[in-house]
Amino acid sequence: MRESLDSKADLVGLTVMNCIGANVAQFRVVNTETEELKQVEEALKRVDPMMAQWAKEWPKMLKAMEGQGVPIEEIMKWFSWARQVLEFVPGNSMGNALQGGLCKPGEDMFFQIGRICAADLLLNNMDRVPLTVWDNLDGNLANVMITNEGGVKGIDQQVFLIISDEGKEEYIRRITKLVTHIWRGDFKHMEVESCMVKVEEAILRQTSVQLNSECLLAMMKGIREGLVSFGQSWTSGTFKAKLEGIVEEANSIRDKSQANAANCGDYVAFVLKVAEEVASVVC
DSSP, residue by residue, 104-145: ---HHHHHHHHHHHHHHHHHT--SSS--TTS--SS--GGGEE
Residue 232 has pLDDT above 70, yes or no: yes
Reported confidence tier of residue 55, pLDDT bands at 50, 70, 90: confident
Q: Which helix (H) or strand (E) covers residue 5, if one does?
A: none
By the 8 A CB rule, do 179 and 282 touch? yes
Q: Facing residues of 86 across strands?
A: 27
Sheet of strand 27-30, all strands in order from the earlier edge strand to the far edge: 2-3, 83-86, 27-30
Query: What tens digit of pLDDT does each residue of 164-173 get?
Result: 999 999 999 9
CA distances from 192 to 132, 173, 178, 198 (A): 9, 15, 7, 10
Q: Which helix (H) or strand (E) covers residue 85, if one does?
A: strand 83-86
Residue 50 has pLDDT above 60, yes or no: yes
By the 8 A CB rule, do 187 and 222 touch? no
Task: Domains for the chain: give ranges and CATH numbers.
Answer: 2-31+86-282 (1.10.1070.11), 35-79 (no CATH)
Q: Which of 77, 12, 81 is nearest to 249 (CA)?
A: 12
Residue 131 has pLDDT above 50, yes or no: yes
Q: Which helix (H) or strand (E) covers residue 163, if one does?
A: none
pTM equals 0.87
**Helical packing angle, 7-19 and 107-123, nearest 10°:** 130
By the 8 A CB rule, do 24 and 280 touch? no
What single letter denotes the amino acid at residue 155? Answer: I
3-state helix, strand, coil in the chain (%, to 5): 60, 5, 30
More confident residue, 32 or 186: 186
Query: What tens digit of pLDDT does each residue of 89-123 get?
Result: 999 999 999 999 999 999 999 999 999 999 999 99
The pLDDT score that the predictor gives to residue 202 is: 98
Reported confidence tier of residue 36, pLDDT bands at 50, 70, 90: confident
Query: What tens digit of pLDDT does each residue of 135-181 get?
Result: 999 999 999 999 999 999 999 999 999 999 999 999 999 999 999 99
Q: Cα–Cα distance between 163 and 142 in angstroms, integer?
A: 27
